[in-house]
């Protein structure tokens, strides 16, 4: 439940509970008072009836000695008062006696004759006034007043019960609200505060166990999502720092040997005047090759850094597959011939694709240079491109066909296969990492170690992929996959 809804419901409940409690308490006490009132009225009526048998004696309403009223006085008590009036309003007797209030005082007739024959009830007493007749003549009026001590005591007790019950309900409601607030707000906020503090201090944290769907739960989930993103970005930055440190070390290692050669041969050309013309030409050729290798390494390092930092956003254009790949796969006969290997080219691509021509030329250049470099003299290398609906070429090594068939689904593939020394499986898994190459190739001017890494990043920017397979005694296959447009 959302916190705003929960607070609205809680507020309604907190406001309603005291009102409902008061209603039930009031109803219960009212029912009790009604029963008590009926019982009390019956008791008072019986008491009044018993006294009326004595007070209806007409001889009591003549002026006489007060001692004659002693039997009446014995019927009275602190909670029962009897007053006798003559018909003309003279008060003949009143109990209990009050020395400050003399007898034989004439009362107002309006008061004496008001509410005759009616039991009157107020907060503290019941009262009854009745006339007394003798020989058909009104001779007097008596008034009986009975106190309601039991009812007053009950009111006091019930007031305490009401106050105590209401206080208990209020305290209980308050405690329940505190517990719910602590569970709904304080505890989750405390957990969030603890995790935020730990995150700010760089402490490692396990994934939390909460499933709240309210605003705090959403805030917690958002914080966890943000935390994971920040940690992932931090790990990526650390990875890039480690990778850059590795690149610097690798570049230093790979450049050291050609620089040493350049320095040695440059010193020989500058200082040694006994070199023959042929030796000078050889030294110059060596210097040219080493400098070209270092320039290639620096160029590829710049490209790799741009691709890795996402500064280079390649623009894809729609091309005709057949024409594009006919152009893309041409021009590699000369490098293969110079290496002494046989090149076979085949393509079967139709439909249109979205590519960046310049970057795809770089991809094929990289994989072909890598393939030719690792193909021994007299061996063969194959280059081809095939749509997803085209048959795979017959020159593929049988060990690669099934897996390649599954891997190339819904895409056009560029294949480079050579006959050469197999790549160990452990190295095959890392082959597209920067500067991963055989130690025998390091510093020999063959490769910068970044070509396949650049190729992988370019393919990923084309929403494609790249993979490599290798088998002992056969050779190695590199495959680049490009997504085809729908309907092709």
**Mean pLDDT, residues 279-297 taken together:** 78
Residue in 349, 345, 312, 308 with CA at minimum distance from that of residue 330: 345
Give the pLDDT confidence of 370-391 residue by residue, as tens digits: 899 889 899 999 999 999 999 9
Evaluate if residue 137 carries a pLDDT over 50. Answer: yes
Q: With contact defined as beta carbons under 8 Å apart, do 360 and 373 qualify?
A: no
* Confidence label for 58 from pLDDT (cuts 50, 70 and 90): confident
Residue in 227, 233, 188 with CA at minimum distance from that of residue 206: 227
| Cα 401 to Cα 407: distance, rounded to the nearest angstrom | 10
Least confident of 130-134, 140-144, 246-250: 246-250
**How much of the chain exceeds pLDDT 70, in percent?**
89
| Cα 127 to Cα 117: distance, rounded to the nearest angstrom | 10
Please give the pLDDT value at position 241. 78
Evaluate if residue 78 carries a pLDDT over 50. Answer: yes
Higher pLDDT, 105 or 416: 416
Least confident of 40-49, 141-150, 335-344, 426-435: 426-435
Task: From the options 3.40.50.720, 2.40.10.480, 3.40.980.10, 1.10.287.130, give the CATH code of 215-304.
Answer: 1.10.287.130
| Cα 459 to Cα 481: distance, rounded to the nearest angstrom | 8
Please give the pLDDT value at position 7. 75
**Mean pLDDT, residues 440-449 taken together:** 51
**Lookup result for tokens 């480690």:** 242
E-state strands within 325-410: 342-348, 352-355, 380-386
Question: Which range scores top for mean pLDDT: 2-6, 38-42, 341-345, 358-362?
Answer: 341-345
Q: What is the 3-state secondary structure (H, E, C) of the chain?
A: CCHHHHHHHHHHHHHHHHHHHHHHHHHHHHHHHHHHHHHHHHHHHHHHHHHHHHHCCHHHHCCCCHHHHHHHHHHCECCEEEEEEECCCEEEEECCCCCCCCCCEECCHHHHHCCECCCEECCCEEEEEEEEEECCEEEEEEEEEEECHHHHHHHHHHHHHHHHHHHHHHHHHHHHHHHHHHHHHHHHHHHHHHHHHHHHCCCCCCCCCCCCCCHHHHHHHHHHHHHHHHHHHHHHHHHHHHHHHHHHHHHHHHHHHHHHHHHHHHHHHHHCCCCCHHHHHHHHHHHHHHHHHHHHHHHHHHHHHHHHCCCCCCCCEEEEHHHHHHHHCCCCHHHHHHHCCEEEEEEECCCEEEECHHHHHHHHHHHHHHHHHCCCCCCEEEEEEECCCCCCCCCCCHHHHHHHHHHCCCEEEEEEEECCCCCCHHHHCCCCCCCCCCHHHCCCCCCCCCHHHHHHHHHHHCCCEEEEEEECCCEEEEEEEEECCCCC
**How much of the chain exceeds pLDDT 90, in percent?**
24
Mean predicted lDDT score pLDDT of the chain:
82
| Cα 462 to Cα 362: distance, rounded to the nearest angstrom | 13
Evaluate if residue 274 carries a pLDDT over 50. Answer: yes
Evaluate if residue 105 carries a pLDDT over 60. Answer: yes
**Mean pLDDT, residues 459-463 taken together:** 90
Please give the pLDDT value at position 422. 86
Evaluate if residue 256 carries a pLDDT over 80. Answer: no
* Confidence label for 487 from pLDDT (cuts 50, 70 and 90): very low
458: tokens are: 């370019």
165: tokens are: 């019950």
**Mean pLDDT, residues 168-193 taken together:** 82
Least confident of 50-54, 260-264, 472-476: 260-264
Evaluate if residue 133 carries a pLDDT over 70. Answer: yes
**Mean pLDDT, residues 21-37 taken together:** 79
Higher pLDDT, 209 or 453: 453
Return the CATH architecture of domain 314-483. 2-Layer Sandwich (3.30)
**Mean pLDDT, residues 247-261 taken together:** 71
Identify the CATH class of 3-152.
Answer: alpha beta
Please give the pLDDT value at position 438. 46
Higher pLDDT, 399 or 185: 399
Please give the pLDDT value at position 10. 76
- Domain spans, the chain: 3-152, 215-304, 314-483
Please give the pLDDT value at position 212. 66
| Cα 154 to Cα 158: distance, rounded to the nearest angstrom | 6
**Mean pLDDT, residues 333-342 taken together:** 91
Please give the pLDDT value at position 440. 45
Residue in 238, 234, 205 with CA at minimum distance from that of residue 220: 205
**Mean pLDDT, residues 178-206 taken together:** 81
**Lookup result for tokens 């006696």:** 97
Question: Which range scores top for mean pLDDT: 210-224, 327-341, 423-437?
Answer: 327-341
Higher pLDDT, 20 or 80: 80
**DSSP structural state of residue 169:** H
Evaluate if residue 79 carries a pLDDT over 90. Answer: no
Please give the pLDDT value at position 263. 78
| Cα 488 to Cα 412: distance, rounded to the nearest angstrom | 10
Evaluate if residue 171 carries a pLDDT over 90. Answer: no
Least confident of 96-105, 210-219, 401-410: 96-105
Please give the pLDDT value at position 443. 44
* Confidence label for 324 from pLDDT (cuts 50, 70 and 90): very high
Q: What is the pTM of this model?
A: 0.51
E-state strands within 100-136: 105-106, 120-121, 125-134
| Cα 349 to Cα 327: distance, rounded to the nearest angstrom | 12
Higher pLDDT, 217 or 197: 197
Please give the pLDDT value at position 437. 58
């Amino acid at each position: 439940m959302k916190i705003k809804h929960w607070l609205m419901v809680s507020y309604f409940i907190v406001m309603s509970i005291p009102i409902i409690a008061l209603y039930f308490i009031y109803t219960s006490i009212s029912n009790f008072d009604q029963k008590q009132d009926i019982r009390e009225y019956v008791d008072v009526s019986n008491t009044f009836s018993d006294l009326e048998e004595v007070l209806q004696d007409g001889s009591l309403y003549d002026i006489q000695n007060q001692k004659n009223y002693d039997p009446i006085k014995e019927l009275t008590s602190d909670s029962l008062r009897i007053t006798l009036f003559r018909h003309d309003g003279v008060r003949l007797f009143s109990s209990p006696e009050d020395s400050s209030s003399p007898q034989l005082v004439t009362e107002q007739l309006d008061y004496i004759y008001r509410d005759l024959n009616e039991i009157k009830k107020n907060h503290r007493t019941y009262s009854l006034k009745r006339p007394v007749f003798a020989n058909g003549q009104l001779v007097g009026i008596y008034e009986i007043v009975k106190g309601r001590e039991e009812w007053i005591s009950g009111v006091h007790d019930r007031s305490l019960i009401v106050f105590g019950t209401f206080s208990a309900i209020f305290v209980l409601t308050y405690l329940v609200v505190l517990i719910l607030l602590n569970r709904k707000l304080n505890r989750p906020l405390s957990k969030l505060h603890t995790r935020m503090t730990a995150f700010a201090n760089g402490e490692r944290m396990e994934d939390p166990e909460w499933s709240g769907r309210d605003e705090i739960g959403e805030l917690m989930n958002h914080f966890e999502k943000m935390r994971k993103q920040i940690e992932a970005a931090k790990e990526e930055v650390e990875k890039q720092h480690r990778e850059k440190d590795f690149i610097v070390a690798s570049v230093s290692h790979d450049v050291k040997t050609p620089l040493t050669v350049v320095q040695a041969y440059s010193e020989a050309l500058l200082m040694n005047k006994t070199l023959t013309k042929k030796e000078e030409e050889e030294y110059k050729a060596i210097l040219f090759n080493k400098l070209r290798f270092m320039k290639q390494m620096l160029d590829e390092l710049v490209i790799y850094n741009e691709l890795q930092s996402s500064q280079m956003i390649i623009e894809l254009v729609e091309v005709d597959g057949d024409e594009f790949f006919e152009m893309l796969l041409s021009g590699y006969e000369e490098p293969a011939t110079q290496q002494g290997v046989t090149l076979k080219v085949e393509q079967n691509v139709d439909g249109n694709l979205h590519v960046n021509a310049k970057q795809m030329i770089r991809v094929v250049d990289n994989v072909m240079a890598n393939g030719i470099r690792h193909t021994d003299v007299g061996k063969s290398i194959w280059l081809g491109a095939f749509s997803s609906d085209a048959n795979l070429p017959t020159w593929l090594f049988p060990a690669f066909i099934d897996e390649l068939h599954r891997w190339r689904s819904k895409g056009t593939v560029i294949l480079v296969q050579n006959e050469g020394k197999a790549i160990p499986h452990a190295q095959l898994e890392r082959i597209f990492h920067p500067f991963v190459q055989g130690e025998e190739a390091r510093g020999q001017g063959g490769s910068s170690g970044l070509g396949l890494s650049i190729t992988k990043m370019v393919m990923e920017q084309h929403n494609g992929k790249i993979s490599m397979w290798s088998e002992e005694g056969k050779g190695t296959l590199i495959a680049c996959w490009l997504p085809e447009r729908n309907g092709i």
